[in-house]
Amino acid sequence: MSMISNKVADIPPYVFAKINQKKDELKRSGIDIIDLGMGDPDLPTPKPITDKLIDELNNPDNFKYSSFSGCTEFKEAVASFYKKQYNVELNSETEVLALIGSKEGIAHLPFAIIDENDYVLTPDPCYGVYRMATYIAGGKNYDMPLTKEHHYQPDLSVIPEEIKQKAKLMYLNYPGNPTAATVDLSFFNRVLDFAKDNNITIAHDSAYNMITFDESAPSILQADKAKDIAVEFGSLSKSYNMTGWRIGYVVGNPEIIRSLSVVKSNMDTSQFLPIQKAAAFALTEDQKYVHDNVEVYRKRRKVMVEGLNAIGMNVDSPKGSFYIWAPVPEGYTSEGFVEVMLENAGVVVTPGSAFGSTGEGYFRISLTVPTDRLQMAVKRIKDYLQKVTAREG
Q: HEC profile for 238-270?
A: CCCCCHHHCCEEEEECHHHHHHHHHHHHCCCCC
Nearest CA to 16 out of 103, 109, 110 is that of 103
Q: What pLDDT tens digit does each residue of the chain (393 aa) get?
A: 678 998 888 887 766 777 888 888 888 989 899 999 989 999 999 999 999 999 999 999 999 999 999 999 999 999 999 999 999 999 999 999 999 999 999 999 999 999 999 999 999 999 999 999 999 999 999 999 999 999 999 999 999 999 999 999 999 999 999 999 999 999 999 999 999 999 999 999 999 999 999 899 999 999 999 999 999 999 999 999 999 999 999 999 999 999 999 999 999 999 999 999 999 999 999 999 999 999 999 999 999 999 999 999 999 999 999 999 999 999 999 999 999 999 999 999 999 999 999 999 999 999 999 999 999 999 999 999 998 877 776
Nearest residue to 67 (alpha-carbon basis) of 282, 275, 271:
271
Angstrom CA distances, 63 to 29, 273, 318, stand at 44, 7, 42
> Under CATH, domain 6-45+288-390 is a member of which superfamily?
Aspartate Aminotransferase, domain 1 (3.90.1150.10)
Taking CA atoms, 203 is separated from 180, 245, 255, 293, in Å, by 18, 23, 13, 26
Strand partners, 203: 171, 231
Report CA-CA distances (Å) from 245 to 52, 81, 125, 236: 13, 19, 27, 9
- C-alpha to C-alpha distance for 388 and 393, rounded to whole angstroms: 8
- 47-284: which CATH number, 1.10.600.10, 3.50.50.60, 3.40.640.10, 3.40.605.10? 3.40.640.10
Q: From CA 25, how far away is CA 16, in angstroms rounded?
A: 14
- Residue 377 near residue 347, CB atoms below 8 Å: yes
Q: Model pTM?
A: 0.96
Residue 259 C-beta-side C-alpha neighbours within 13 Å: 14
Q: Domain boundaries in the chain?
A: 6-45+288-390, 47-284
Strand partners, 340: none
Which residues in 85-121 are b (16+ Cβ under 10 Å) and which e? bbebebebeebbbbbbbbbbbbbbbbbbbbeeebbbb
